[in-house]
A = this chain, B = another copy of it.
Amino acid sequence: MPRVKMSESDTSMRAFAERVFASETKDEDVREEVSLFDVSEDCPIIHQEMAQHLQDETKEERRKKQQAFVSSVPVTPLAEAGMPTYLEVPEFQRVAVIGDYAAGVTMDDFAMSCRGLYRALCIREKYMRQAYQRFPITASEFLRKIEGEIWKTEDLVVPDFTPPPKPGEDPFCTKTLPQNLGYVARMHDGVVHIYKTTEDADSHQPIDLPTPDYATFIDDMNFLIALIAQGPTKTYSHRRLKFLMSKFNVHEMLNEMEEMRELKNNPHRDFYNCRKVDTHIHAAACMNQKHLLRFIKRSYRVDADRVVYSIKGKEMTMKDLFASLKLHPYDLTVDSLDVHAGRQTFQRFDKFNAKYNPVGASELRDLYLKSENHINGEYFATIIKEVASDLEDAKYQYAEPRLSIYGCNANEWNKLSYWFNKHRVYSPNLKWMIQVPRIYDIFRARNFVPHFGKMLENIFLPVFQATIDPQSHPELSIFLKHVTGFDSVDDESKHSGHMFSTNSPKPEKWDIPKNPSYTYYIYYMYANIMMLNQLRKQRGMNTFLFRPHCGEAGAVTHLLAAFMTADNISHGLNLKKSPVLQYLYFLSQIPIAMSPLSNNSLFLEYAKNPLLEFHKKGLIVSLSTDDPMQFHYTKEPLMEEYAIAAQVFKLSTCDMCEISKNSVLQSGLSHEEKLHFLGDCYQKDGPEGNDIRKTNVAQIRMAYRYETLGYELNLIKDGVKSQ
């Protein structure tokens, strides 16, 4: 595994990072203002400096540079003889920049920016590889080229997901569970470590697996904080992003009809029967409001006299429960159910969370939307299975619902996996994710946990134990087979005021009532997932992706933390505020599950959503619903999401199919399913990896994306080598 050489931790850099952090905290309340990290398009200083820089160069220097740039344009991958015809890229009109200095900044700034971006990419590559998260081959190839090495297929690190059961196979079968390894798992400094024996554990002698290095992580983070605030790199990234936008617009104008021609000639496949995955959806809100209403009415017709609730030891039938709420389900309507987000929820995450309570009654949330209650979550399981059944009927739609693990006590995993197995909540169209709310402060205030370390232990130790000895934890082991990743959730606009640094207390020492910062949460989730994946990979078990909510609101440092740790993210709106991070997300092709309808109700008006802009620039975006119960109107929330995006952003069919393809790639669907849905070469980048017969994405589009990414990476290579 290639290790990035680290410079000595730089005190001045850290101080600078702290200043940046402090100034950003101050700006928190002024959401609408231009952020520190934002470069205004018509900033006069930039223009002035640019003019100065350009004057400084001699004509001769400019000519030489131009020469260098023209020759560095990556070679177009042409269809070779003997390739299957569907992989051929039809002729199309290319946008080339010839005879002008491509980056538009001085050579010194250019070189500095490229070195910074190169190092940032290396940092991400390192953390992704360690934790069995993904990093694109194209970018790795360029990084190796810069280092004078050659990327080899063996270097590819990929996550593992459980394939769908073979015909006749039971997804709940416990017979094939692996044997006990006999290892000991114990938390040390907030991270679970594995030991051969209890004695090893007592003397902290873990088995030989790569472990996260706290100090290096902080150094890397400080480097990135400095990078995203660095003037020249901001200017360079901003200019490259603007160029990417314009380039796509020109490409679209020139080749739109040609792309459409490809799709028209592609038999059997259209947008409707392209696979698409709802990459971000919460299980407790995965049904639409009408569905929930019908379910409540139906349950009352059948179960009115059933004991469904107990309060202070007193059992209540459903009739009693509704009577105590002064309600009769027969009279209920979507309006009185009141779970839909309205104008009142805009910029009010707190009000939004209350919408999870039907009729404002937490009793009903408990009865219908929880896996743990008097009826063992039977209704919740049933309603999810109904949603799954709709997806199975629709055939081409998949979803990745999140279930909560809070870390409040060590028994949560057992209860959740009991629920999953008892009600057989499995569907081939659902891939499960675990979401961890960042609410230590609430648990601490009620004295549920003594310190943050205990919360982490509650979240991760049971999973390690089930991984070490699956047969003693059969239900949890089965459930974990169907879990594909972890999510970190909560209102990002709440600010903890704490800055993650080498001086931060270790989790076991974090016993103050204050909530740790976003980055602190993210680091410890990442570190534990990394250890877990090492162990599970060794055992041949499925691994987990880290896919936090990130950049929905709050500081841009959230997006920086995710850049270092997350396979992909949900939301990403705040990439608008940092050109450097946005450019880095583009270069490393980090998938972003966007939910413009959710944003429209909570944080950002639809027309202002950056989805279209990101998509045009070449960032990898997918569409997701977040909470159909709160946001959607129709029976097909994911289609509603696509339809509205298509209408408002005027997406072409090729755009929509590209977004669908992105969603499958981003998802936790298994290798076997991806082969089936995207084609045999789906892991390859560019047109070679695109089977138009399955994806309905034009090869011209794929070639455009591939060449454009190559061009940008090549610029960085040139920049790094220029000195």
List chain A positions with a Cβ less than 8 A from chain B.
256, 260, 263-272, 290, 330-336, 338, 340, 342-343, 597, 600, 606-607, 631-636, 639-640, 642-644, 646-648, 650, 652-653, 696
A266, A335, A639 — which one has the most chain B CB atoms within 10 A of its CB?
A335
Cβ–Cβ < 8 Å partners of A263 in chain B: 333, 335
Question: A334 contacts B290, CB within 8 Å?
Answer: no
Question: B696 contacts A335, CB within 8 Å?
Answer: yes
Q: Given the interface contacts A256-B343, A647-B644, does A333 sit within 8 Å of B270 by beta carbon?
A: yes
Cβ–Cβ < 8 Å partners of A256 in chain B: 343
Cβ–Cβ < 8 Å partners of A607 in chain B: 607, 648
Question: B633 contacts A260, CB within 8 Å?
Answer: no
Partner of A650, one of B334, B343, B647, B648: B343
Q: Given the interface contacts A634-B636, A652-B343, does A335 sit within 8 Å of B270 by beta carbon?
A: yes
CB distance from A270 to the nearest CB of B (A): 4
Question: Beyond A264-B338, A340-B653, A342-B652: 11 further Cβ-contacts under 8 Å?
Answer: A263-B335, A267-B330, A267-B331, A267-B333, A270-B334, A272-B290, A600-B647, A600-B648, A606-B648, A633-B646, A648-B648
Partner of A640, one of B600, B643, B648, B650: B643
Cβ–Cβ < 8 Å partners of A632 in chain B: 643
Cβ–Cβ < 8 Å partners of A334 in chain B: 270-272, 653
Cβ–Cβ < 8 Å partners of A696 in chain B: 335
Shortest Cβ distance from A267 into B: residue: B331
Cβ–Cβ < 8 Å partners of A600 in chain B: 647-648, 650
Sort A-B residue pairs by CB-CB distance and give the 9 closest, nearest first.
A267-B331, A270-B334, A270-B333, A633-B643, A263-B335, A264-B336, A607-B607, A270-B335, A264-B335
Question: A643 contacts B653, CB within 8 Å?
Answer: no
CB distance from A651 to the nearest CB of B (A): 9
Subset of 17 A-B contacts with CB under 8 Å: A260-B335, A264-B335, A264-B336, A267-B336, A272-B290, A335-B653, A343-B650, A343-B652, A597-B647, A600-B647, A606-B648, A631-B647, A632-B643, A633-B639, A635-B635, A643-B644, A648-B648
Cβ–Cβ < 8 Å partners of A597 in chain B: 647
Question: A636 contacts B635, CB within 8 Å?
Answer: yes
Shortest Cβ distance from A252 into B: residue: B343
Cβ–Cβ < 8 Å partners of A631 in chain B: 647
Shortest Cβ distance from A607 into B: residue: B607
Cβ–Cβ < 8 Å partners of A644 in chain B: 643-644, 647-648
Rounded to whole angstroms, the CA-CA distance of A93 and B33 in the bound complex is 34
Shortest Cβ distance from A640 into B: residue: B643
Cβ–Cβ < 8 Å partners of A342 in chain B: 260, 652-653
Rounded to whole angstroms, the CA-CA distance of A650 and B268 in the bound complex is 38
Question: B633 contacts A333, CB within 8 Å?
Answer: no
Shortest Cβ distance from A633 into B: residue: B643
Cβ–Cβ < 8 Å partners of A260 in chain B: 335, 342
CB distance from A360 to the nearest CB of B (A): 10
Question: A647 contacts B267, CB within 8 Å?
Answer: no
Rounded to whole angstroms, the CA-CA distance of A340 and B646 in the bound complex is 12
Cβ–Cβ < 8 Å partners of A648 in chain B: 600, 606-607, 644, 648
CB distance from A650 to the nearest CB of B (A): 5
Partner of A606, one of B269, B333, B636, B647: B647
Shortest Cβ distance from A294 into B: residue: B272
Cβ–Cβ < 8 Å partners of A269 in chain B: 333
CB distance from A609 to the nearest CB of B (A): 11
Rounded to whole angstroms, the CA-CA distance of A330 and B269 in the bound complex is 11
Cβ–Cβ < 8 Å partners of A338 in chain B: 264
Rounded to whole angstroms, the CA-CA distance of A335 and B652 in the bound complex is 11
CB distance from A139 to the nearest CB of B (A): 32
CB distance from A264 to the nearest CB of B (A): 4
CB distance from A165 to the nearest CB of B (A): 31
Cβ–Cβ < 8 Å partners of A333 in chain B: 263-264, 266-270
Question: B336 contacts A265, CB within 8 Å?
Answer: yes
Shortest Cβ distance from A606 into B: residue: B648
Shortest Cβ distance from A644 into B: residue: B644
Q: Given the interface contacts A343-B650, A644-B643, does A331 sit within 8 Å of B268 by beta carbon?
A: yes
Partner of A634, one of B332, B335, B634, B650: B634
Rounded to whole angstroms, the CA-CA distance of A94 and B646 in the bound complex is 40
A263, A272, A607, A632 — which one has the most chain B CB atoms within 10 A of its CB?
A272
